[in-house]
Structure 1
């Protein structure tokens, strides 16, 4: 049986499912800000040996890949896509990679265009709607191993990119199943949320990282098409995206970018088993953006939890030690899908 075909068509279903994720927050870490900040600031970076590959693109630019785990031909491959200002060093990405490697998976981490230490060659950088490079990678992996299992996981911005790419590919998606967490389904509301209250701390942190990236890029790449001083002094994401993201990526302005880059309108077009995990207390978003079941494809399951923060989901492990529930949950989901897929392939053969 060829890979990258739907394993099951949901019988008579017209939309996706929304269910409780089963996540129980650590009793001392129910606050959404603690859930968000503890894994990012206090968690040691999981050690992971990476094999780097530079993937040249048709437009003269490149993206970097990092491979880990088995090099055995035919092993299942998990493509991991980081969030805004993330990359190969992201702790959540490394944590999931280690769990999957223990289960015999091969890891292919995609560092989105302009992420990481090396600026990309073109003026443009990655953004929430930048799904073309991921789709290119999917098709490349499918050509390399036509019968191999390919799964994809994305977090935050990376989750938006994954879901948008799945919807764009539809029935032709060259992946077998996917997962995403803490996804900004509607970008305008998220940008507005980050302008107010405690959420401004996250906005300041993210914009600071983006400014550093742009300064580094400007020392090597011609950015004369934008007002660099205005971008570097942008007080919020609306101003930043108006001055940087939109003009360098073909959008009229920030509002046009938010409308066209958000994954929400693409969820109904997804045709591969997909799990989305989202916390209702995510401090970077508002509850109103969480889609209803009618907005989801029959192939999509949205799991919600009361607590969890943004890419947090810290539970109590043995002796009450904090443990990263989301990574274990995703690893278990991908492994179940793998077993089901392999069983279906043997039955057909």
Structure 2
């Protein structure tokens, strides 16, 4: 499916011609500097009795656009507020006059030191809590949100749970795993062994970092996991009330909730994503919910979309256009 006519179809830019190169390109791009825009640290204590606090960076544009909504950006697995794809989207929105809140999920990035617990794909209650404590000064012109990969899955789940009551003007997901079990098996394919090993190693570091509250048995389960499935089966599932990884994946998969989404939501993904099977997106009944606007491309990799005509990722341009024009 093509984006709205204002943007040309996606075409990979040299040298990012394959799905794997698209996927790893962010590792080789310099981080986007946000100056002359300014940033400040915000802290959001969570009202669930855990004592955990979410940290975020609030970016203010040098030239604000009157009436522009606050944009919340939610990173993916083992990401944080300073992930390159987050900074890239933030820079574009700031240049267009919007304030941006770059969120660190529970136990991610700088939130690790002030959170004993951990984020996971189904933990939509944290985002719900965040929205209730945002200062009125930030939300007076409305709120939009973008979720990447795991952050996109969590956002889609939240939107489906809330339906038309979601306090957002619009939302977007980029490369979200809309079926968690199928995606995990796909990630564990032999051709993905380097990706899988890297992600799993990063998950272990993140889960056991300073601030994390884990028992000796949980630490052993984390460090002894040989796959992402093991990590979710031996640690996330029992820690957070699921019978198994399979139970966690089934109860939290976005496709269970997407039919209930009631606000304008862009769903952007690539059929050649090496981490998420394109068949999931091909098979979904998009016509069943007019609130969903799928933009599905043949190429683009996982949170890649480095296209011709601009150094800005094509996905950033599509999301920004969607928020401005619907």
Q: Distance in 2 between matches of 1:214 and 1:145?
A: 31
CA shift at 1:54, angstroms? 0.9
Match for residue 243 of structure 1 among 212, 234, 237? 234
* Preserved CA contact (<8 Å) 2:181 2:250: yes
Please, what TM-score do these two structures have when normalized by structure 1? 0.84
List structure 1 segments (4+ residues) > 6 angstroms apart after TM superposition.
none
Q: Distance in 2 between matches of 1:266 and 1:300?
A: 12
Structure 1 residues not aligned, in runs of 5+? 1-18, 338-349
Aligned equivalent of 1:304: 296
* Number of equivalent positions: 313
Match for residue 159 of structure 2 among 161, 166, 173? 166
Match for residue 194 of structure 2 among 201, 213, 225? 201
Are residues 142 and 117 of structure 1, via their aligned partners in 2, closer, same or farther at CA, if it must alter by over 3 Å? closer
Deviation by residue 1:22-73 (Cα, 9 ceiling, x = unmatched): 211225433100010112x210011134311110111221111210024979
Q: Choose 117-126 or 234-243, whichever is displaced more.
A: 117-126
Aligned equivalent of 2:10: 23
Please, what TM-score do these two structures have when normalized by structure 2? 0.89
Aligned equivalent of 1:101: 94
Aligned equivalent of 2:57: 66
Q: Distance in 1 between matches of 2:264 and 2:120?
A: 25
Match for residue 128 of structure 1 among 105, 121, 130? 121
Matched, 1:257 2:248: yes
Q: Distance in 1 between matches of 2:317 and 2:95?
A: 12
* Preserved CA contact (<8 Å) 1:281 1:307: yes
* Preserved CA contact (<8 Å) 2:266 2:292: yes
Q: Distance in 1 between matches of 2:108 and 2:270?
A: 26
Aligned equivalent of 2:266: 275
Match for residue 313 of structure 1 among 301, 305, 314? 305
* Preserved CA contact (<8 Å) 1:268 1:295: no
Q: Distance in 2 between matches of 1:215 and 1:139?
A: 29
Matched, 1:324 2:310: no
Q: Distance in 1 between matches of 2:290 and 2:113?
A: 38
- 1:314 counterpart SS class: coil
- 1:50 counterpart SS class: strand
CA shift at 1:134, angstroms? 1.0
CA shift at 1:115, angstroms? 0.5
Q: Choose 118-127 or 62-71, whichever is displaced more.
A: 118-127
Aligned equivalent of 2:6: none
Q: Distance in 2 between matches of 1:215 and 1:221?
A: 6
Q: Distance in 2 between matches of 1:268 and 1:174?
A: 18
Match for residue 85 of structure 2 among 80, 89, 92? 92
Structure 2 residues not aligned, in runs of 5+? 4-8
Aligned equivalent of 1:47: 33
Are residues 197 and 136 of structure 1, via their aligned partners in 2, closer, same or farther at CA, if it must alter by over 3 Å? same
Are residues 161 and 176 of structure 1, via their aligned partners in 2, closer, same or farther at CA, if it must alter by over 3 Å? same
* Preserved CA contact (<8 Å) 2:237 2:245: yes
Q: Distance in 2 between matches of 1:115 and 1:221?
A: 10
* Preserved CA contact (<8 Å) 1:124 1:248: no
Are residues 84 and 27 of structure 1, via their aligned partners in 2, closer, same or farther at CA, if it must alter by over 3 Å? same
CA shift at 1:317, angstroms? 2.9
Q: Choose 154-163 or 193-202, whichever is displaced more.
A: 193-202
Are residues 222 and 137 of structure 1, via their aligned partners in 2, closer, same or farther at CA, if it must alter by over 3 Å? closer
CA shift at 1:135, angstroms? 1.5
Q: Distance in 1 between matches of 2:226 and 2:14?
A: 36
Are residues 294 and 97 of structure 1, via their aligned partners in 2, closer, same or farther at CA, if it must alter by over 3 Å? closer
